[in-house]
Structure 1
Amino acid sequence: MARRRSVSRQLGWVLERITRQSGRLPPSTPDFGSRLLGSSVESQRSRRRRMRFLIIVFVAVADLIGIAVVAVIVIVAVPEPSIFSDAPGWLTWGIAPAYATIALLVGSLWVRRRLSSAVGWSIEGHAPTRADQRNTLQAPWRLAGIHLVLWGVGTALLTTLYGLVNADFIPKFLFGIGFSGIVAATNCYLVTEFALRPAAARALEAGRPPRGLAAGLMGRIMMVWILGSGLPVLGIMLSSVFSLWRRIETRAQFVVGELILATIVLIVGFAMMWIVAWLTATPVRVVRAALERVQDGHLDTTLVVFDGTEFGELQRGFNAMAHGLRERERVRDLFGRHVGRRVAAYAEQHQIELGGEERHAAVLFVDVEGSTQIAASQPPMEVVNLLNRFFRVIVDEVDQHHGHLNKFVGDATLAVFGAPMRLNRPEDNALAAARAIARRLGEEVPECAAGLGVAAGTVVAGNLGTRERFEYTVIGDPVNEAARLSDLAKSTPARLLASEAAVTAAGHDERSRWQLGEEVVLRGRGTPTRLAAPTAEDFAGHD
């Protein structure tokens, strides 16, 4: 059973990976804003190992830098009293380095345990709950709190022990270790928030975090400024006041010490603000790259929401926007398929109103010959496939000649040229399309013969129906005439007839491809119509 669950979990991960791969950003734009964090399609186990390694390394480096800053402050910046000559060796060479070593080991184990409890759910492969989300998003704060505890204990311990030896050590260690501890804890928060982006991305799938759960962008920046610049500057001021009051340094020592402290604060403040600026800029770059892909037509682009601040809302908003665009494009595509691309474009550019207008247009009517016998002699699916091949020819040629395929009526088709898009001479387009359709049907769908009729004149084109359900169509005498001509054309060799009015209104080149014939009275009409058929050369297939 356990093996079956493991296989099922692996299959689920593979399917998730394939799904996410389709809408990913290009390799130049990492999913989480940095290549150090890997990809969103990485396995959960690899992702967890990566996050744990990055956090342990980053936190250890931050602690070591903090210890180095303490050494610079207590040895160089504030040399008097000296920890070498004015303090016992067991304290300087024994207690201080021993506590630093123990704190590093305890801190690493504590961080690892806290990290496992915060993001351990992600390795199990189940959907995150609200509790998982809360633990994951609060993990950077809790890990920073661990550092504050360890550095706070060290500050209290060493300040007390050195203060018992000489009271002048108290402000020196209180400022030196306290300042370094605050900087190390702040850096721990920043690097942990960065390294936990993949876990935060999965945690945010549970929904928007509650207000106050994750620090906002303004809160993050102000916190870094206060802890990285504000408090250290205040410490320098208090240290200066204490030095002047106690008069334990010469003027040169005082100036050099203050310059060193100011330089440390300047470097540390700059580094912390740079980290914040980088953490702030990477989500913006990811969103910008995604917007560029959408502008290029890749509407399947989606972002991994990995930030718990306002940038997470921006990423979530982008995904909602992209989803809306995909839905709009899908509806637009369906609308275009149902009513025709040109009608869809016309409807988007103009306000839709019921009613119609008079237009000069040409009409092509195509009707299948013997459709009843075809349906009775073949299985239904074969009939459907045959008709689809038949209609594909008609759709191709009508589109090629800038017409509008108005409707399919059973096994018949009505195409209009000149509405809704105006054409200079719609007769040319309709007659050329009819000749091409007749030729291609004979070559590509010989088992499905059809009659084609072309007529031209004034029609009423517009939206007919009600506000709830309407249809763009054309009505008028040319429509009826084209339908009658298609019936009559079934008994002619070319299976294609046009009215004299349509041929004479065409241009010279198109008109030369047709020959006039006899006059007939079409069914349902009172006046005779002179027929026109393609010339023998065109009938033979030479266009």
Structure 2
Amino acid sequence: MSDAPNFGNTPRWSFLERHSLFFVCVSPVIANAIGSIFNILYNQTQIEPFLSEAQMQRFDQCWQWFNMAVYPVAISCFLIPLLWLRPIHRRLLDGQSIEPHLLEKAQRLVINLPWWFLAVASAGWLICIPVFPAALRAVPEPLPDDVVTHLNVSFIVASLIAVTHSFFAVELTIQKALFPVIFQNTVPANVPGTLPLNITARGVLWAFSAVVCPVVSIVLLLLVPDASQQMPRFAVAVGVVAVLFGLTTSWMLGKLVATPLRQLMNAAMRVADGDMSVRVNLLRADDFGLLIERFNSMVEGLREREQLQQTFGRHVGEEAARQIMSQGDRLAGKEQMISVMFVDVRNFTAYSSTHAPEQVVTALNVFFREAVEIVEAHDGMVNKFLGDGFMALFGAGTITDAHANRAVEAAQAMLCCMEESTEKFADAGWPDLQIGIGINTGPAVVGSIGSPKRQEYTAIGDTVNVAARVESLTKLVGHNLVITEATRQQLPDECQVESLPPQLVKGKGVPLKIFGVKAKPQLPSPR
């Protein structure tokens, strides 16, 4: 995607992007100009002194006619793809739509432009090797062998200087100026029929330009007879120029390689810190383009997973959501010692029969919001809502110790909250809302239960059934919070409870020992 800011429907492009075709056209000029200057100086110092007057005249005619014939052809070849791109480039700058097949053709051409420029520049330089010696040999005078050697050296060194640096300059300019315009809604790495330079080949070309070219240039000069002795300063100058160009190539390679690496590293660090909004907005057609696309897709997947887990967690509880997602598709349930809490709103049937459904739901949501926060603050999870109540589990998550005490403290905090939130319930239309809470402790099967197509994370077993029965006893025994003997045995000795008459419950042949617990005015934090 393009980074150009939009105002209305028209993107606001930078000066570089508006004139990107011009900058692409002139990007290889400096390297080729340096190569030409080297070639001219070399010819003046190493070749012209060995030529006769007639040969010198033919040499001057040759380079004049060569420049008049070859340069226009080379420049035309440079301009042909840019002239074809110009109307498409202009329409994209103006925010106009382009036919898909035409846009894909333009994108493919843009990615392959460095290779086209490389081929044109190489042909323009290397064609000098057969042309100039042939023109000099046409003069009816003997041509020294050293002259041919000097000519070949001058053209080879000049082409080494010009061509490799031109490739990097064109590629860097295209990525910086032309890619944002041409690839506004497409990833360059996904365009078919392209030949981007991969990381390995880029390293080889860099080594060739920054290491091989300077060394070869100096070695060729030293091998030429009398070159180093006659013009030692010139040989040193050639070496210095070649080394400087090698450093320039290294800088351009750093821009082409270090920039995406740095952005990917910074983005990865932000993702590690929990920032899922990060995106690497760098357009590349090479291996980095594929890597950037995969990285952005990975972050998007992580962001969707996080949103799914948050949404899922709101329905089944955050701890249950973590366990379900770590469990995957496996149907699994294991027996655990847990404490089960059932909470029910008193007189719900009577209240709902005399109030509008919206008013009933509003009041219940006020209660559920407070209750869920209290349960989760005490390391419990609200497992399911039961119309006018809910079931909560303690000890089924990562924290499995002291779950009975945490459940009782959560229930006491909930009762205190009911007393302190009278105004909230009054505003919701239910000023006298009251609840009953039953807690039981024991073994239960906890996990994902159901069929492969429909599963539920819950707890089942006698412990759960007894907890539900105990909650129904709260109205009968006159206590808002009732616990079983199994829960009482797990509480610390300082916890004050009131023994209540044993009660018969469904499914039990003997009366169940139960205890009443009062709410505490202030409770210490369980964490």
Evaluate the alpha carbon distance shift between residue 84 and residue 10 of structure 1 in structure 2; reply closer, same or farther with a 3 A threshold.
farther
Unaligned residue ranges in structure 1 (runs of 5+)? 1-8, 15-42
Match of 2:111 in 1: 137
Partner Cα separation in structure 2 for residue 90 and residue 76 of structure 1 = 14
| Correspondent of 1:489 among 460, 467, 474 | 474
- Counterpart of 1:439 (choices 416, 440, 465) is 416
State yes or no: 1:453 paired with 2:431. no
RMSD over equivalenced CA pairs, Å:
4.5
8 Å contact kept, 2:345–2:435: yes
Determine if the alignment matches structure 1 residue 176 to structure 2 residue 176: no
> What is the aligned partner in structure 2 of residue 480 from structure 1?
465
Paired with 1:251 and 1:472, the residues of 2 have a C-alpha distance of 85
1:469 to 445, 454, 461: 454
Q: How far apart, in 1, do the equivalents of 2:464 and 2:492 lie?
A: 22
Structure-2 residue corresponding to 1:74: 43
Q: State the SS of the aligned residue for 1:196.
A: helix
Task: Tell me the SS of whatever aligns to 1:303.
Answer: coil
* Structure 1 counterpart of 2:190, one-letter code: R
Is it true that 1:196 corresponds to 2:177 in the alignment? no
Q: Secondary structure at the match of 1:415?
A: strand
2:279 pairs, out of 299, 302, 310, with 302
**What SS class does the counterpart of residue 318 from structure 1 fall into?**
helix
What is the number of equivalent residue pairs in this alignment? 495
Residue by residue over 1:27-49, the C-alpha shift from the partner in whole angstroms, topping out at 9 and shown as x without a partner, is: xxxxxxxxxxxxxxxx4465522
The aligned amino acid for 1:445 is: F
2:300 alignment partner, one of 304, 323, 327: 323
Write the distance in 2 (CA, Å) between the matches of 1:282 and 1:526: 76
Matched, 1:218 2:187: no
Query: 2:339, 2:487 within 8 Å by CA — same for their partners in 1?
Result: yes
1:291 partnered with 2:268: yes
Structure 1 residues 231 and 542: alpha-carbon distance in aligned structure 2, compared to 1, 3 A threshold: closer
Q: Is the CA contact 2:346–2:436 (under 8 Å) kept in the aligned structure 1?
A: no
| Inter-partner Cα distance in structure 2 for 1:46 and 1:384 | 59
How high is the TM-score relative to the length of structure 2?
Answer: 0.75
Contact 1:438 1:494 in 2 (8 A): no
- Matched with 2:340 is 363
Contact 1:77–1:260 at 8 Å: present in 2 too? Answer: no
Structure 1 length normalisation: TM-score? Answer: 0.73
For 1:496 and 1:56, the matched residues in 2 are separated by 83
How far is the alpha carbon of 1:89 from its aligned partner? 13
Secondary structure, aligned partner of 1:445 = helix
* 335-344 vs 80-89, which moves further: 80-89
- Equivalent residues of 1:404, 1:416 under 8 A apart: yes
Residue 113 (structure 1) aligned with residue 113 (structure 2): no
* Structure 2 counterpart SS, 1:80: helix
Distance in 2 separating the partners of 1:172 and 1:492: 113
1:332-411 alignment, distance < 5 Å: 332-347=309-324, 353-359=331-337, 361-411=338-388
Matched ranges for 1:512-523 at <5 A: 512=496, 514-522=497-505
Aligned to 1:36: none
Alignment partners' CA distance in 2, 1:54 and 1:192: 9
Cα 1:171–1:341 shift into 2, 3 Å = same
Cα distance, 1:433 vs. partner?
0.7
Instruction: Note the C-alpha offset of 1:411.
Output: 2.2
Deviations 1:15-60 (A, max 9, x none): xxxxxxxxxxxxxxxxxxxxxxxxxxxx446552263464355333
Q: Aligned partner of 2:172: which letter? A: F
Distance in 1 (alpha carbons) for counterparts of 2:254 and 2:407: 64
Superposition deviation, residue 519 in structure 1: 4.3
Measured in 1, the distance between the counterparts of 2:314 and 2:279 equals 27
Structure 1 residue aligned with 2:34: 65
What's the counterpart of residue 528 of structure 1?
511
Aligned pair in 2 of structure 1 residues 413, 474: CA closer, same or farther (>3 Å)? same
Corresponding residue number in structure 2 for 1:18: none
Q: Tell me how far 1:402 sits from its aligned partner.
A: 1.1
Q: After superposing the two structures, state which structure 1 stretch, 405-414 or 294-303, moved more.
A: 294-303
AA at the equivalent of 1:74: N
8 Å Cα contact 1:451-1:486 kept in structure 2: no
Query: How far apart are the structure 2 equivalents of 1:253 and 1:131?
Result: 54
